[in-house]
Amino acid sequence: MLRPAESRLPMSLQPIVLVVEDEPLILLAACNMVESAGYGTREATNANRALSILAENPSISILFTDIDMPGPIDGMALAFETQQRWPHIGIIITSGRWPLARHEIPTDAVFLEKPYLERSLVEALTNLFA
């Protein structure tokens, strides 16, 4: 199976992943991994901003969010809200504090425990985008 970068899609046609992470270094690393896999990225440091970005950008294909977030909405609530409002968007949830069972996350979402490996993230992205 070809990754998006290998299919030579123009930048404007690349799938877009919204990466939501409040830790700047982890956000940077996650965006680098996503972009290395051939996806475009948008960034948010909290769930409220992520919801605004999702509402303004119908081109977003996948939400990749941490659970622990500052503000009134955490990443889990963001994931469920995203599933409800934009059911076509794939969801990847990550946390180093909250190991989750399948029944605790939105239907068809993927959970990656921190620290995750780049190949695990790329595999999750590929599976959601396929």
pTM, 2 dp = 0.89
Structural domain contains residue 124: yes
CA quadruple 7, 62, 45, 114: dihedral sign: negative
Structural domain count, the chain: 1
pLDDT in tens, 8-40: 455 556 899 999 999 999 999 999 999 999 999
107: containing domain: 17-129
Does 87 fall in a domain?
yes
Residue 45: inside a domain: yes
What is the Cα–Cα distance from 36 to 38, expressed in whole angstroms?
5
> pLDDT tens-digit profile of 39-96?
999 999 999 999 999 999 999 999 999 999 999 999 999 999 999 999 999 999 999 8
Task: Identify whether 8 is part of a domain.
Answer: no
Residue 115 lies in a domain: yes
Q: What is the CATH number of the domain that holds 122?
A: 3.40.50.2300
Q: Has residue 5 been placed in a domain?
A: no
**Nearest-angstrom CA–CA distance, 80 and 96:** 19
Q: Could you tell me the CA-to-CA distances from 123 to 3, 32, 55, 77, 107 in Å, in that order?
A: 10, 15, 26, 24, 18
In a domain, 113, yes or no: yes
In a domain, 6, yes or no: no
